[in-house]
Amino acid sequence: MSPEEKVRLTHIVEAATLIASYINGVSKEAFLRDPMRQDAVMRRIQIIGEAVRHLSHQVVTSIPDFPAKEARGMRNVLVHDYEGVNLERLWDTAVQDIPAIRNAVEKYLRPDTGGNGWEKLKERIPDAPPIPGDELP
C-alpha cells in the first residue's frame, strides 16, 4: 500500500465517522426533512467514493467485504444525477452501508490484520464512535 493510499483510506474512515455523527440520534423521518443534514451526508459519501476511486485494485481486493464498486457508484449518482437522488436510499446507505465500509477499512488498517495505519488513524479521530459488535483497540 502506498502512502497516498493509506491517506485515502484514512479519508474514508474520517468521512464515515462524520456521517455517523451526522445521523446519530436522528430518526429517518427527521433526516428526510433536513436538507442540511442530507447535504452533509451526501458530501461525505462523495469523498468516500472519490477516495475509493484512487485506490489500486490490489488494495481494494485485499480488503475483505469492501464494497468499492458500490461506493464509486453512489458517488457517481450523487455527483452526476443529483436531481434523482433517492433520499430514502441515502438514509439506508448512511445507516447500513457506511458503517460496513468503515469497519472494513479500520480492520484493514489495524496492525494485527497486516495493516499498519491504525495508530495514526486513531490519533486523527480519537472520538470515533465504536462500530456495534466491534470493539476498537
Clarify whether 89 is annotated catalytic. Answer: no
Among residues 11, 44, 72, 75, the one annotated as catalytic is 75
Clarify whether 43 is annotated catalytic. Answer: no
Task: Using the structure block, give the residue that is written with the C-alpha cell 489495524.
Answer: 110
Among residues 80, 89, 102, 110, the one annotated as catalytic is 80
Three-class DSSP labels, 15-82? HHHHHHHHHCCCCHHHHHCCHHHHHHHHHHHHHHHHHHHCCCHHHHHHCCCCCHHHHHHHHHHHHHCH
The catalytic residues are 75, 80
